[in-house]
Structure 1
């Protein structure tokens, strides 16, 4: 386990709404093509693709390597998966600048009922390297939060596109 209750971490949470049920939003987002939502910007690379995926991305224990547009990669492991409700994962072994800041990240998606739709909550919990917490909690935090919010907005848009096409059932 990457993060324990005694670790001093930095959490960043973003939210988005969809007009579909939590089950439908979950079913579209859990296996989403990462290259469609993690787009490079002036500060952060996007995701070019995924390599070495060990199995379907639908149960704890699966791992893969997201490949970033700058040529770097990380290892991602699915640690929790509750159909229709949420999933959690850990990212470790970053080969880009993030590896100098954090030992790893725990990500968690929750899909919560919101009227006829869904409130999606996405949290990134960074486990900073020694002496790096002030950087992550300070100048890095708002930049990463903006990047996360943009990615989650793209995920929500894909959910709405699937609904409009009638393929979200």
Structure 2
């Protein structure tokens, strides 16, 4: 059983971004969940991108699955899928950072929600930081706009992958 990082009494710093896609929710979810992390999490100064993923021994489709994202700067983190609702949402927590985040946060809870939006989908992504004592002001202040910029760029790339794969999997129509 997973021990959750963040509880009701924690004072966290939350950053949420969202983007729409013309892709149907079930297709967006199917493509988003196993997305190739190095493809979408590229460097956005001052943050490194993800260069690879190690130690993923299970499919990323159920609570309890684990992996270790490796960052471009040589650091890494521990990631565990904590919630998985087929077709609509998944949540994960990141701990054990070996970069500057280890001095700012005890960890992070991330969550993706995939919601119907007309003929397409609204994807909402939230990062909830659990600050270390005395560090909340840094995360909520100068850190937040920089991290939001990183998230916007990554979500834009996620939507691009979703729309590209969705279009490539559609049958071709032929003129007769």
**TM bucket, shorter chain:** over 0.9
Q: Give, in whole Å, the separation in 2 of the partners of 1:54 and 1:131.
A: 36
Q: By how many angstroms is 1:54 displaced?
A: 2.5
Q: By how many angstroms is 1:21 displaced?
A: 1.2
Matches within 5 A, 1:1-169: 1-166=4-169
Query: Mind listing any 5+ residue stretches in structure 2 that lack a counterpart?
Result: 172-176
RMSD over aligned CA atoms reads 1.1
Query: Mind listing any 5+ residue stretches in structure 1 that lack a counterpart?
Result: none
Moved over 6 A (4+): none
How many residues end up aligned between the 2 structures?
168
Provide the TM-score with structure 1 as the length reference.
0.97
Per-residue displacement from partner, 1:8-41 (whole Å, max 9, x unpaired)? Answer: 0000000011111111100001110000001012
Counterpart of 1:135 in 2: which secondary structure? helix
Q: By how many angstroms is 1:43 displaced?
A: 0.4
Q: By how many angstroms is 1:106 displaced?
A: 0.2
